[in-house]
Amino acid sequence: MATSDKASPRDRLLDAAADLFYRDGVSIGVEALCRTAGVSKRSMYQLFDSKDEVLAASLERRLPGYEARLTPGPQDADTPRERILYVFERLAKASAEPDFHGCPYLAALVELKNPEHAASKVARGAKERLKEAFRKEAELGGAHDPELLARQLMLVFDGASARSGARVETLDDGLATATATALLDAAGVR
Cα–Cα distance for residue pair 124/34, rounded to 1 Å: 26
Let me know: does 91 contact 66? Beta carbons within 8 Å.
Answer: no
How does residue 6 score in pLDDT terms, banded at 50, 70 and 90?
A: confident
pLDDT at 74: 87
- Give 72's DSSP letter: P
Q: What's the mean per-residue pLDDT of the chain?
A: 95
Per-position b or e across 25-62, b if 16+ CB within 10 A of its CB: ebebeeeebbebbebeeebbeebbeebbebbbbbbbbb
Cα–Cα distance for residue pair 24/31, rounded to 1 Å: 14
Let me know: does 29 contact 8? Beta carbons within 8 Å.
Answer: no
Cα–Cα distance for residue pair 19/83, rounded to 1 Å: 29
> What is the CATH architecture of 9-187?
Orthogonal Bundle (1.10)
> Could you state, in order of their start, the residue ranges of all structural domains in the chain?
9-187
Cα–Cα distance for residue pair 16/61, rounded to 1 Å: 12
pLDDT at 5 over 70: no
pLDDT at 108: 96
Residue 143 CB contacts under 8 Å (≥ 6 apart), including other chains: 149, 184, 187, 188, 189
Vertex 63: Cα angle to 33 and 157 (nearest 5): 105
127-143 mean pLDDT: 98
- Dmax (CA) for the chain in angstroms is 57
How does residue 3 score in pLDDT terms, banded at 50, 70 and 90?
A: very low
Model confidence over 96-124: pLDDT tens digits? 999 999 999 999 999 999 999 999 999 99
Model confidence over 143-169: pLDDT tens digits? 999 999 999 999 999 999 999 999 999
164-183 mean pLDDT: 95
pLDDT at 178 over 70: yes
Which helix (H) or strand (E) segment is 168 a member of? none
The proportion of the chain whose per-residue pLDDT surpasses 90, expressed as a percent, equals: 94
Model confidence over 48-62: pLDDT tens digits? 999 999 999 999 999
pLDDT at 99: 94
pLDDT at 1 over 90: no
Vertex 126: Cα angle to 93 and 49 (nearest 5): 120
The proportion of the chain whose per-residue pLDDT surpasses 70, expressed as a percent, equals: 97
Cα–Cα distance for residue pair 135/156, rounded to 1 Å: 14
Let me know: does 54 contact 44? Beta carbons within 8 Å.
Answer: yes
